[in-house]
Structure 1
């Protein structure tokens, strides 16, 4: 069974960790900028909700695939606290570095949303909220399922050493599952799957409606998927962690 590695506070001062945090900030910033920007653009156009949802889903598909690819070698390209937690539960990143990543990802999200607000002349920053008729329990369960599928894909296509024919396609496949999940769950829970992606818009807009759903659901789903995949599907002599291992 994979062991969760606590790590040491000294990690924060190691050159490889500093480099990883810089790259993680950049990738998360660009991801949120494109994702939230796409949502703002659809609201500005005031078109069909279905077309808008598809547009947002496709934007997230493309930017997730690109940013994972961009950050994979240095930071792992997590761009998501739920991904970081899932990898931590699988013993693939230390608790200390996970916490640093969380702060980094949330700060990048706030910076991206603040810049979008400025560049669009103060256009409202859309937040994740529950759809009409969806209660907290339903929203949390939806986010658990969607984030579980995201992390299951991350582990199967990026982490598992036996990738087979899909070797090298992990970032694209992860982007595709994000897009599909937005199409499936966007109208109900908002399909965040990413606490940082929800945090930035909420802070910049000052609107915290339903916000806890987008921490509770994704973190449960991500942590559960990481624990299950690592311990039940990876036949491994994997020795946790070198200090700079992420995937």
Structure 2
């Protein structure tokens, strides 16, 4: 009996183990290190796969827009299904930055993800370059994203801005903590389908105009491997600006939990919690 009591006291007095989370700064521990390693590998492989496939389907013989959209749909669905439960399958710096601004992830996780995405994109492009025949690897600059020659750089930025805006807005809406239950039922099992549809739709619309880069990591990875940085700034600035606009619009106007108190806490409170309802009767902006 005494032994049981001692054992019980040891259990009760032992420190509580807090599971690592992307919205909390990691601690110097084995558990947190392993968690960060899983996140890093998840984003690296996910982005690398995306870049690898993007290069392969852009090679001749020329495919039609419908087949391109189908490939994009299944690629994103596969990536989100596999890596979504691990890192969220962000695989795009504009998504990672949006999550940081909305305080879903910390600065440490943001830096880790972006580094993993950039390395993954370069490795994916290198793998594709070394697997395809040399005569094909010289065509289309190893899957380099290129705008339509009839489209100006300014217009291309506009198209990419729209694409980045649409992607981030869809993700913020899908992950809104206060969305009505009818819209969140089966959320994470349907997320691969949702992301596949969004990206396939945007590729089908934008590819003929701006090239549908939509992802700074993917565009930078192929540019590094091809050693051609022509118009690269278009695919860095456009999607990022679209992401920032989507964040402001959703957090200030469209979110189901939006209020003056929540906005103030988001901008000033170091302990801001996205799962806390900050709304009050007199300050609710949305239904």
Does the 8 A contact of 2:100 with 2:107 survive in 1?
yes
Matched, 1:164 2:182: yes
Q: How far apart are 1:86 and its partner, in Å?
A: 1.4
Runs of 4+ in 1 over 4 A off after TM superposition: 5-11
Measured in 1, the distance between the counterparts of 2:174 and 2:50 equals 20
Paired residues, number: 230
Residues 127 and 145 (structure 1 numbering): CA distance in 2 closer, same or farther, change over 3 Å? same
Secondary structure, counterpart of 1:19 in structure 2: helix
Give 1 or 2 for the bigger CA radius of gyration.
2
Does the 8 A contact of 2:48 with 2:123 survive in 1?
yes
Provide TM-score, normalisation by structure 1: 0.84
Who is 1:102 aligned against?
A: 114
Matched, 1:133 2:150: yes
Q: How far apart are 1:158 and its partner, in Å?
A: 3.5
Measured in 2, the distance between the counterparts of 1:134 and 1:169 equals 36
Q: How far apart are 1:217 and its partner, in Å?
A: 0.6
Who is 2:161 aligned against?
A: 144
Q: How far apart are 1:175 and its partner, in Å?
A: 1.3
1:1-247 equivalences under 5 Å are 14-40=33-59, 43=60, 45-46=61-62, 51=64, 53-122=65-134, 123-124=137-138, 125-162=142-179, 164-165=182-183, 167=187, 168-236=189-257, 239-240=273-274
Q: How far apart are 1:209 and its partner, in Å?
A: 1.1
Measured in 2, the distance between the counterparts of 1:186 and 1:211 equals 16
Q: How far apart are 1:233 and its partner, in Å?
A: 2.7
Q: Structure with the greater relative contact order (CA < 8 A, sep ≥ 6): 1 or 2? A: 1
Measured in 1, the distance between the counterparts of 2:34 and 2:249 equals 32
Report the RMSD for the aligned CA atoms in angstroms: 2.5
Measured in 1, the distance between the counterparts of 2:79 and 2:107 equals 23
Measured in 2, the distance between the counterparts of 1:96 and 1:224 equals 23
Provide TM-score, normalisation by structure 2: 0.73
Q: 5+ unaligned residues in a row in structure 2: which ranges?
A: 1-22, 263-271, 276-287
Q: How far apart are 1:9 and its partner, in Å?
A: 9.4
Residues 206 and 19 (structure 1 numbering): CA distance in 2 closer, same or farther, change over 3 Å? same
